Every structure is written in structure tokens, then in C-alpha cells.
Structure 1
Amino acid sequence: MDMQLKGKRALVTGSSSGIGAEIARMLAAEGVKVVVHGREPGRTQAVATEIETAGGQAAMALGDLTTDEGATAVIDAAQRAFGGIDILVNNVGGSASVAHPTWFEAPLEEWAENYRHNTLAAVRLIQAFVPGMRERRWGRVIQISSRNAISPHAQFGAYGAAKAALNNLTLSLSKALAGTGVTSNGVMPGLIYTPQLDSWFVEVAQKHAGTSDPKAGQAHVLKNIVHQTVDRLGQPKDIAAAVCYLASPLSDFMTGTTFRIDGGATPTV
């Protein structure tokens, strides 16, 4: 299927690895000019080089989106790269929480840091790029949320609350953009495999299966922790494919919606 994306310009935050990198690669394969963002130059350049080697167009934007200075650097680099941004994918985020014995022991600063990292970083970029999209009468804003936004874990309450705010933002923004040709949607991933999970899988395997094989840890997690109805781990490409659709002109009739892509792990209607 032709996603009708050739020539569009995208910024994918947090795209130097993991889900973000796969989103950048898949958008580039559809003909999108992609700005790859990260904080570490080597990893960011590696993704941009991979895209260019495959025949795509890519540029780099470096900076910490939780700071004014870092966000300004990213915004300026992204604007210069291709003369503007048509598609903004707010993927940067993640948990700034650690597991606590009880919900009540998480300090207030942990709640604030999760909000800065997952929600305010998105707001900074929306305020920077969406006015241009509105003037051009076309654009896409896509937030990468989490199933924790609607089915949070007690020990990571701050992270789930920050992602819930991102879902709320996605809907309110869609209403603010009514009739402009710019849509606002999101994706809530479940457990998605990246190499960073291997150390956890090894710990789980050692504790529950008497082995250090990460595959044994994966099997235990699927059966006893995430309770999916799909019997495999999610992959970054599962999220990237949804993002490509939301970025496409084919999704013109969809706004204010957040997809849940979690292998059936969230028991809700």
C-alpha cells in the first residue's frame, strides 16, 4: 500500500535506538525525510547513516528535551534540516521511576521528573512545530504513550500518570486543531522487545526457571506477568507500522484517538 508519505518531513524524538529508531527507519522507507533525535551523537549518527545507506534522507538533532537549552537546540536543528516539519512523533520518554516497596514512598520529585520527561517534552515541540503545520493546513502530531496510561502498575504510579496526561493532551490538542488539516493521535505500546530488556529477562529466568537464558525469562514474563492473548513479545516494527499509518494522509478521518497495541495485555473495552 502506498502510504502517500513521499516528500513529507518528520522529527522523531528519542530515535537513536529502540522503538524510535524503528519508527524513523520505517518512515524513511516510505519516502519521508527524517530528523533523527538523540542525546548521544554516536548512536544518533548511526541511525541517520543507516537510513541514508538504505536510500533515505536523514538529518540529526541533538539535545535533552527536558531542558530549555536542549529543546531549543533540537527545534533549531530540525527546522534547518529540511525547512520545516510536517510530522512530529513525540516518542521520547520512559520511566524516571524506581520500584518502591509501597506507592506512598515515591518522592514528589520523581512525579515531577516523569512529567517533565514524558509530557512537557512533547508540549515543547508541539508549541514549536504545530503553528507551522496549521499555517500549511496539513500536519500530523503523534504521541507515543504506554498501556500504563490506562492500566498502571502501583509501583510505577508516576510514570503511568505522566502517560495518562499525554493521552489527555492528545485529545485536547485534536480539539484545538479542529478544521486545520492537522491531526493529533497516539499509540499506547505494551511490552515491546528491545535489547535493554535482556538483563531483566535474565534476572527473571534465574529467579523462576533456574537458568540464565533470557528466552526462558521471556516465556515466564509472557505467561505470568503481562498475560497477553498474543503469544509473542511486541516488536518495534509493530509500533512503527501504526505510526506510519497515523502519519499518512490515509488517516485524515482519525484524530483525538490513541491506539492500544499491547498483544491483548490490557483487559479493557
Structure 2
Amino acid sequence: MLDLGLKDLHVLVTGASGGIGVEITKLFLEQGAKVTAQYNTKSTTLEPLLENTSKLHIAQANLSSESSVQHLFTSATNTFGPIHIAIVNHGIWVEENAMLKDMSLERWNFTMDSNLTSAFLVAREFIKGLEKEKAKDLDDQAKEKVDNASIVFVGSTAGMFGEANHSDYAAAKSALMYGLTRTLKNEIIRVVPRGRVNCVAPGWTHTPKKTESLQDPEVVYRATATVPLKKVATPYDIAVQIVILTSSRVSGHVTGHVVDVAGGMEGRLLNMKQDI
């Protein structure tokens, strides 16, 4: 890949142990960045990466907990110094189908905490860290790194088109993609003058969690019926767009955007032939 000017920048990747998260982590390491990779329950997918680099720090955190997020940032900065880029990639999609009329408040709150409140906590701590760095007497190189700070949120086509039986997830992702991204891009520059905030919205992606369901031709049909490219994304397809957006060298004038990486998806397939 093109040199994106990310060498020795400190990148925080949340949800790093998932299919997309691992790919994001790999790409940043290939670019020479220092990476703090957050996971919640399992780190087995990340541990093999430690064999080939000294620039990876793996850290556990429950991102729905304010104190846990604060501890994550302390651990990260103690290891690699100030964080320059935050990839807010974590999220939870509750598998059980539930129409809004049947959805429990417990599930709604869990989804909001896991996808939206947690993103707020990470973004807030990140910007607080930038503010602390700006208050220091930095040399020109360190100042340049901080001034070009970047956040990339990871949304979903569910936030663009909605998702029946998963209104909780769709609402959380939509708030992240539009309300939070487009507000924060106007606030971050009050702290760092060239700070940028963007969002990537994946569609169906062939992650390990989707491997089984994508063996079903009916699932593949419904996933690709409104997609001109007629295929499901790979984790690399998503990760490479995220990494490119963080680079001030190639994306330095891009902020406040939601980039959908969904093969041109135009919406949901609502009805099958037999339904009409």
C-alpha cells in the first residue's frame, strides 16, 4: 500500500479482536504505526500479531464502563505515549429478532450502551487527551502529530436504511454516524486545528461471525439483492477505507463524512416474490 504517513503515530483500535478489527490492526502495523488494540472478552485473534512487532499493545476494557475506558487510555499512553488516532470500531448486534413493540427496555439500553454510549466515552477520553497534549510545550514534530488527530467511527448500513427486528442497533448506529460524527467534526477543531472526524459504514461483510450464515444461498441473495457489485465485502475492504481516512497525507481535507463501504447498496430487500 502507498505510504500514508502514519509511521510512529499511536492508534487506538477498539473492537480489535473481531474480523474487521484484526484487519485494521494489521494495516496500521504495516504502515509503521504503534497500535493499542482493545478487546473485551477474547484476545486470541490478536496475540499472534505480537510475534512480529514491538509496536502492538493489547488491552482489555469494557467500553460501556467510564472507569474502564479511562484505565484503557492510561494503559495506552503509558505504553506508547499520546494517542493520535482513534478507530471506534467496537459494537454489538443482538442476534435475536425483536420488533420494537416486543423489545425489552433492558435490550434497548444494552444496545445503546454497547454501541453509542461506549463510543461517546472513547471519543470524549480521546479529545481530553489531545487537550492535555496541547497544553504542553511540544516540539514541532510532536505538535504536528497532535494537530492532525483523527477519529473514525464504524457505523453500519443499518444506520442508513434501518433494519427490521433490530431497531435498537439501527438507531444507535444512525446516531453515531450522523448526529455524533457531524457534531464532533465541528468541536474537535476547537482543540486541535486540523482534527478530523469521519465514519465508515460497512454493509454485509464476510467476517468469521458471518461465515456460517453466508453458506446459505438465500442469505447471500438477500444480502446482495440491492448491491450493484453483487458481492459481500471482505474485512480488508472495510479496513483499508478506515486507514486511508485517518491519513492527513491523503485525506487531510476530508471530515464529517460517512463513507459507506457496501458495494453500492441501495436499501433493503423488503419482499420476496412469494410475499407479493
Match of 1:264 in 2: 264
Q: How many residues align?
A: 249
Partner of 1:103: 100
* Map of 2:78 onto structure 1: 80
Provide the residue aligned with 1:223 in structure 2. 221
Q: Which residue of 1 aligns with 2:31?
A: 30
Q: CA deviation at 1:56?
A: 5.9
1:157 is the counterpart of 2:167: yes
Deviating more after overlay: 171-180 vs 1-10: 171-180
Aligned residue number for residue 111 of structure 2: 114
Contact 2:37–2:59 under 8 Å retained in 1: yes
Equivalent-residue separation in structure 1 for 2:219 and 2:5 (angstroms) = 38
Is the contact made by 2:223 and 2:232 (CA closer than 8 Å) also made in structure 1? no
Between the aligned partners of 2:115 and 2:170, the Cα distance in structure 1 is 10
- 2:185 aligned to which of 174, 181, 198: 174
Map of 1:255 onto structure 2: 255
Q: Identify the residue that residue 146 of structure 1 maps to in structure 2.
A: 156
- Identity percentage of aligned residues: 24
Q: Of 128, 133, 139, which aligns to 1:131?
A: 128
**What is the distance in 2 between the residues matched to 1:96 and 1:232?**
24
Give 1:211's aligned residue.
none
Q: CA RMSD in A?
A: 1.9
Q: Is the Cα–Cα contact under 8 Å of residues 133 and 182 in structure 1 kept in the other structure?
A: no
> Residue 254 of structure 1 aligns to which amino acid in structure 2?
V
Q: Distance in 1 between matches of 2:34 and 2:47?
A: 11
**Unmatched segments (≥5 aa) in structure 2:** 135-145, 269-276
Taking the aligned partners of 1:96 and 1:186, their CA distance within structure 2 comes to 22
CA distance in 2, matches of 1:90, 1:42: 17
- Paired with 1:41 and 1:72, the residues of 2 have a C-alpha distance of 20
TM-score (norm 2): 0.84
Change (3 A) 1:196 1:41: closer
Secondary structure (helix, strand or coil) at the match of 1:186 reads strand
Matched, 1:66 2:61: no
Unmatched 5+ residue regions in structure 1?
Answer: 202-213
Q: Distance in 2 between matches of 1:166 and 1:107?
A: 22
Give 1:230 deviation, angstroms. 1.4
Runs of 4+ aligned structure 1 residues displaced above 6 Å come to none
Q: CA deviation at 1:55?
A: 4.1
SS of alignment partner, residue 178 of structure 1: helix
Match for 1:150: what amino acid? M
Is the 1:222–1:231 contact (alpha carbons within 8 Å) kept by the matching residues of 2? Answer: no
SS in 2 for 1:266: coil
Contact 1:29 1:56 (8 Å CA) reproduced: no
Q: Deviations over 1:76-112 (max 9, x none)?
A: 2112120110000000112136202x33101122221
- Indicate conservation of the 8 Å contact 2:11/2:87, yes or no: yes
Deviation (angstroms), 1:37:
0.8
- Tell me the SS of whatever aligns to 2:256: coil
Find out whether 1:200 has 2:213 as its counterpart: yes
SS in 1 for 2:108: helix
Q: 2:224·2:231 contact (CA, 8 Å) conserved in 1? A: no
